[in-house]
Structure 1
Amino acid sequence: MWNFKTPGIPDEEFERAEKVPITKEEVRVVQISKARLKPGQIVYDIGCGSGSISVEAALQIEPSGKVLAIDYDKNAIELTKKNMIKFDLSNISVIHGNAKEKILDLEKADTIFIGGTGGDTKEIVELSENKLKSGGRIVIGIILIETLYSVLQVLEKLQFESVDITQITISKSRKTSKGTMMLARNPVTIISATKI
């Protein structure tokens, strides 16, 4: 379905549902690049939503790797499964439940993406540190300033290195009756870091 090595599958290619979030294409591309993925890696996608990060990561790590997609919302789980089938991917395992409980039983990861978490991002980052291999990467998409502050504190306490903070503000074109206008989307801050 996606015949390119580069990430950036257009949002409209994904199956969507009204109340299930999707990491937008341009933000997703930056998150994937910050993860520094390689074939054969184990990746968690915590708060997988529509599964767009899971799909992009699965393509990057190839069939020799594995994505563990976790969400507490049944609709998100079903949507991630639909997108997995749509993109003909067999290296994604979809896990329904609370990430704080589910990740305790998972094998160690090379990369952990943390997205929509229902307000407990700080705790998930703390738990993820124990599940991340040495030299592994963590990539966190953040909208709220309070979450940004708490995550930075945790990363410092846990002594992650190469902490990078990137804020992305995207505007997309939309045709109107008189021409084309640019519509701004909410800014997203991406924190990426490496476990020592």
Structure 2
Amino acid sequence: MNSETATSALGVAFVVVGFAMLFVPGFASVFDANELFLSLIGLGFALQTVRVVNARRRTPYEQAETADPEIAQELPTPGDDFDDLMDQAAAVRYSGDQRDAVRERLHAAAVAVVVRTEGLSREQAVERVENGSWTDDPYAAAFFTGEISGTSVLQRVSLFDRSRSQFERWATHAAREIAELSEDER
């Protein structure tokens, strides 16, 4: 029997005797609780403590392996797909599909904003968007009506920007007006 086993057995014996004295008060009267007896019990607990500490010191240190954290997923900024569609519609001359998609998305957004801000039915909002009365911006209204009304000749001349097409200018005005109406609602 090695010293660790003997020390463990002695420690267990002392613990059992201690519990027996605690739960059976008559058993405690068998032992005289003098200084020598208490010193032996303390020595037993000290030996057990030393054994446990030494066993722990000899045990190799192992660190748990953690899984790699999730890699942050790159998400697009809201509206990036519309900006890309708008760039395609503006870049390609006569790009009917992209322009139709831009027009449909802006029309749906304008109708939704008019319904929310003015409390109209969907049919009434569609009518207001299509006749241009949904906004004070003549260029935003012209995007859906196809014609500018209520502007002076000087305003029309200042609109001649050779770097962008009429479609892009009017679509930009409409998108900006929809965004402003939506922000005013909040």
By relative contact order (CA 8 Å, sep 6+), the higher-ranking structure is: 1
Q: If each structure's helix is expressed as a fraction of its own residues, which one has the higher value?
A: 2
Q: If each structure's strand is expressed as a fraction of its own residues, which one has the higher value?
A: 1
Of structures 1 and 2, the larger Rg is shown by: 2
- What TM-score does the superposition give when structure 1 sets the normalisation length? 0.21
